[in-house]
């Protein structure tokens, strides 16, 4: 199951520098998992998870395969994108294809790097892009409302539901707020997702600061944090320059460099984890002598659907899941010891997989 995060931002905010650091880091990870740059602006990176190495060490796994997340470097946005200005149409099309948005904001002063608006104000920058997405959503809704009038008059239940949801979204957008602020019931969730509105996608604000402020942030990133809290969005402070430098070092050199800067870990690791949290994702593991592997699922996924992430046949022929909690697997020293201690559970179709579960699926071929 692949999850895509689109990296967006105005020109000259450090968006491409950040993406380049991501892809260089991914290339360095190629020894651990098959890395591929699908297109020049698409790259996959490993989701950092120390638990996987621990499990592999206990099981003596020959290969370690982490979960992956895809990042898409989306063309820089300018005002008027919703009307096709600049690369507007391409930008909006790319946004529709991602699961979440990582919005890079310039939170640094540098006279040598020109800002397209002639000022440094990350909150205003965020508003510029949000406004373009809201305008595009409004235009889309208005067209679709016109197209379903006949079906609504005919009493088509699906059309009636769509009309109601689109009107709720339109009202929110006309208030100057993104559609993700609409409270959607469980019964409406599927239809709501089907509207594919740009402003329903979760947002992570990435504050790009100077190297000396990577550990603490600054007044500009503090303003972004306030905005993110008001919106229920995510926020992470990062220095794209530092990440680009780290991407060219080996693991030991990178760790020393981070410690000199007063950082505990690379900003990219925090960015990836923040994207993981933003999308409501969690990890389960399959572990054996051949390989230890992390698999990504959404929180609340039941056992058959979790099995389907490995292969569709696993879901279709699901019989049961044998599961050991991560802490039990580690503290007892592996699968057999966990079985002997009665810590392996047999779960059926209704089981919601927990983060860190070590699973083995039984299925009919």
300-363 has the same fold as 4-278: no
Tell me how far apart the alpha carbons of residues 335 and 342 are, in angstroms, rounded to a whole number: 11
Q: What percentage of the chain exceeds 90 in pLDDT?
A: 54
Q: Which residues contact 167 (CB under 8 A, 6 or more apart)?
A: 145
* Contact of 200 with 192, CB cutoff 8 Å: yes
- Residue 88's pLDDT band (cuts 50, 70, 90): very low
In the block, which residue shows the tokens 């297109």?
39
Domain boundaries, the chain: 4-278, 300-363
Helices (H), 211-286: 219-231, 240-246, 251-260, 267-278
Residues 19-41: tens digit of each pLDDT: 888 877 655 444 443 333 445 57
Residues 187-228: tens digit of each pLDDT: 999 999 999 999 999 999 999 999 889 888 999 999 999 999
The structural architecture, per CATH, of the domain 4-278 is 3-Layer(aba) Sandwich (3.40)
Q: Is the pTM for the entire model greater than 0.75?
A: yes
End-to-end C-alpha distance for the chain, whole angstroms: 21
Residues 260-285: tens digit of each pLDDT: 888 888 888 888 888 888 889 999 99
Q: Is the pLDDT of residue 349 over 70?
A: yes
Q: 305-316 burial by CB neighbour count: b if 16+ within 10 A, else e?
A: bbbbbbeeebbe
Q: Which CATH superfamily is domain 300-363 in?
A: Beta-grasp domain (3.10.20.30)
């Amino acid at each position: 199951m692949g999850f895509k995060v689109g990296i967006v931002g105005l020109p000259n905010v450090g968006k491409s520098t950040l993406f380049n650091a991501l892809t260089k880091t991914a290339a360095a990870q190629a020894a651990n998992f098959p890395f591929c740059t699908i297109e020049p602006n698409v790259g996959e990176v490993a989701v950092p998870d120390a638990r996987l190495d621990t499990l592999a060490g206990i099981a003596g796994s020959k290969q370690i395969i982490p979960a992956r997340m895809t990042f898409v470097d989306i063309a820089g946005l300018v005002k008027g994108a919703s009307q096709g200005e600049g690369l507007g149409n391409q930008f909006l099309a790319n946004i529709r294809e991602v699961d979440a948005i990582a919005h890079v904001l310039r939170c640094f002063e540098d006279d040598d790097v020109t800002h397209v608006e002639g000022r440094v104000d990350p909150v205003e920058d965020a508003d510029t892009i949000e406004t373009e997405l809201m305008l595009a959503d409004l235009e889309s809704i208005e067209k679709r409302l016109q197209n379903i009038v006949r079906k609504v008059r005919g009493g088509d239940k699906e059309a009636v539901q769509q009309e109601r949801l689109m009107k709720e979204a339109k009202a929110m957008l006309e208030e100057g707020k993104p559609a993700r602020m609409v409270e959607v019931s469980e019964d409406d969730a599927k239809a709501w997702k089907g509207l594919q509105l740009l402003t329903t996608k979760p947002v992570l604000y990435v504050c790009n600061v100077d190297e000396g402020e990577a550990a603490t942030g600054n007044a500009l990133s503090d303003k972004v944090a306030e905005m993110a809290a008001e919106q229920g969005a995510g926020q992470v402070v990062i220095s794209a320059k530092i990440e680009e430098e780290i991407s060219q070092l080996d693991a030991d050199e990178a760790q020393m460099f981070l410690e000199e800067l007063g950082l505990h870990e690379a900003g990219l690791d925090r960015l990836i984890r923040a994207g993981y949290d933003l999308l409501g994702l969690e990890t389960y593991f399959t572990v054996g002598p051949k390989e230890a592997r992390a698999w990504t699922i959404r929180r609340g996924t039941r056992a058959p659907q979790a099995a389907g992430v490995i292969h569709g046949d696993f879901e279709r022929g699901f019989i049961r899941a044998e599961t050991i909690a991560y802490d039990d697997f580690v503290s007892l020293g592996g699968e057999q010891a966990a079985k002997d201690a009665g810590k392996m559970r047999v779960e059926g179709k209704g089981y919601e997989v927990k983060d860190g579960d070590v699973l083995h699926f039984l299925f009919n071929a």
